[in-house]
Amino acid sequence: MTSSPRAALAALLLAAAAVLPGCLTSSELQCNTGLTKCADTCVATQTDSNNCGSCGSACNGGNVCVAGGCVCPVGQQVCNGICTVIATDPRNCGSCGYVCGSGQACNQGVCEDCGSGGCRTALVAGCIATPGGYLQEIHDLPGGLLLDAAANTPGASFPDALGVLGSVLLYADDDSASLFEIPIGSLGSASATRPPLVGTSGGSHAGTSQLYVAPAAGGTLLYATNSFVNAIRIFNGPPPLDAGTLLGPTGAGSLGLVIAGGVGFDAGSFPEPFAAIGNDLFVPLNGTGQVVRVNVTNPASAQFLATYELAPLVAALPGGGVAPDGGPFIASPTQAIARNGYVYVAANVLRYYGDRPGADYGPPLVVKIDPSGSGQAAVTAVAGLADAGIGCQNVEWLASMPLGAGTTPMLVSCAGARAYDSTYQVTAVANTALLLLDAKDQPIGFWTPSSRPDGQFPPSVGRAVPQNTSVYVADETAARLYVVDYTTNGFVERVGYLNGLTPPTICPSYITDLTVVPAP
């Protein structure tokens, strides 16, 4: 009798099953280290957006899974439950709910006027003068940089750090240790309300190095990193869209900032500008050569999660982390930024002296921290900075330069090795440059300030502020402002001695901060 085709197929399947290993049931499934069993599958709950932190916990609204938590991709944040590109969305420009006006475009999170000459960038610099200090507004126009008249904010005299909340400029004043609320369209006025930057002990200079604004339910959170008192103070604030209305065009109103909590650090730790990933802050401690990870989900009860030591990375530098005189180089981190899901830290490796001006400067060091890692294994050094084709020492500032999905170059400011006279005036600068690193942290280009006339202070590359395809570079020795334009893997100097457009001197002594502001 001939077998049916169905019977023949069943026989073949049974025979094949006899030579295959037995199938694992869910109870027999064993997962490798770092993976979690979810039903009959092994998943990485630290990075799996369908099982983020635990099985079945899916991210939505465009969120991705980082270190077991759902967060928006770098450059985005949640607006009305959806991850939004606040760099370019005119309905959520720079922050949720901030709507650009008619005839304006959202460029890198700032509303800019776009007429026949294209979008125009406006910046504000904090200036140190003798005596006192002031604000300087700068406009980047087709014909060059235009400086407005200096703005003397009533009651303020020393601008430590600047921030932007909607159409309001935030000004941390060192002499009064208080926060000034200033209408961007009227920099010479301010609210009479001045929230304190220090605690009830009073009298201390805050030494604010950073004003950071982040979205929160129903409003914003404002973080003030106060280096001199070793603390971060956190305020509850209004939504960006409401800030200008609350303050008023002449500052007659108030933002209504309320203390929400804060973070205290050990004496002498000197916290510097931090990076934020989700509710975790990565805070560089300049005085101890460390980066600490702090969770501020509850600002009133911050939780310390980890401490990363930078000294081993200094010891691994060429020369073994030892200065020419045999003394130790010290990791003195000055800033952290978040980029592509990682944290990058500027470490201006120095050998300090107590008996003479200046310091020795070690090799360049940018630290990379993987938030999904643990312990010192999460900390590495960005390779190749010393081989970028130009000298680089004393890395003080970093910045992301968003130029489209997947690119995100990083700017690395090398202040250089500076020589001083007995009055602490800079007499020479070597190995100063602005480096450009690609998405894989490989150096792909650089810029050095063009030659200056004899008798002027030598330039030292300081804070670099990107906006669209331009970068505004503050000079640390003579408070000049250079402008370089990004091209394919490189820079072209637009304002500088190279092309005859002399970089203007923005401040008499020093540029303490430089920020892009919405067009008033």
pLDDT in tens, 461-500: 999 999 888 999 999 999 999 999 988 778 999 999 987 7
DSSP class per residue in 342-369: EEEEEE--EEE-SSSSSEEE---EEEEE
Question: Is the model more confident about 70 or about 270?
Answer: 270
Name every residue whose Cβ is closer than 8 Å to that of residue 430 and which is 6 or more positions away in sequence.
391, 393, 416, 417
pLDDT at residue 404, rounded to an integer: 59
Sign of CA pseudo-dihedral 140, 146, 148, 149: positive
Q: Is the pLDDT of residue 182 over 90?
A: yes
Task: For residues 470 and 485, give the distance between their C-alpha atoms in angstroms, rounded to a whole number.
Answer: 4
Nearest in space to 226 (alpha carbons), one of 180, 181, 263: 263
Instruction: Indicate the length of the chain as a whole number.
Output: 520
Which of 73-82, 272-281, 397-406 tops mean pLDDT?
272-281
Model-level pTM? 0.82
When pLDDT is cut at 50, 70 and 90, the band that residue 305 belongs to is: very high
Residues 162, 498 contacting (CB under 8 angstroms): no
When pLDDT is cut at 50, 70 and 90, the band that residue 357 belongs to is: low
Question: Is the model more confident about 205 or about 345?
Answer: 345
Question: Is the model more confident about 200 or about 157?
Answer: 157
pLDDT at residue 258, rounded to an integer: 96
Among 155-159, 261-265, 269-273, 393-397, which stretch is predicted with the lowest mean pLDDT? 155-159
pLDDT in tens, 42-72: 888 888 888 888 998 888 776 778 778 888 7
pLDDT in tens, 77-121: 778 878 887 777 888 887 888 888 877 778 767 787 776 556 778
- Mean pLDDT across the stretch 322-336? 90
- The two tokens of residue 18 are 């006899």
Query: Exposed, middle or buried by CB within 10 Å (0-12, 13-18, 19+), for 114?
Result: middle
When pLDDT is cut at 50, 70 and 90, the band that residue 186 belongs to is: very high
Task: For residues 226 and 201, give the distance between their C-alpha atoms in angstroms, rounded to a whole number.
Answer: 14
- Mean pLDDT across the stretch 211-224? 94
Question: Is the model more confident about 74 or about 355?
Answer: 355
- Mean pLDDT across the stretch 233-256? 95
Task: For residues 469 and 147, give the distance between their C-alpha atoms in angstroms, rounded to a whole number.
Answer: 21
Q: Is the pLDDT of residue 1 over 60?
A: no
Nearest in space to 175 (alpha carbons), one of 220, 239, 132: 132
When pLDDT is cut at 50, 70 and 90, the band that residue 352 belongs to is: confident
The mean pLDDT of the chain is: 86
How large a percentage of the chain has pLDDT more than 70? 90
Among 23-27, 263-267, 416-420, 446-450, which stretch is predicted with the lowest mean pLDDT? 23-27
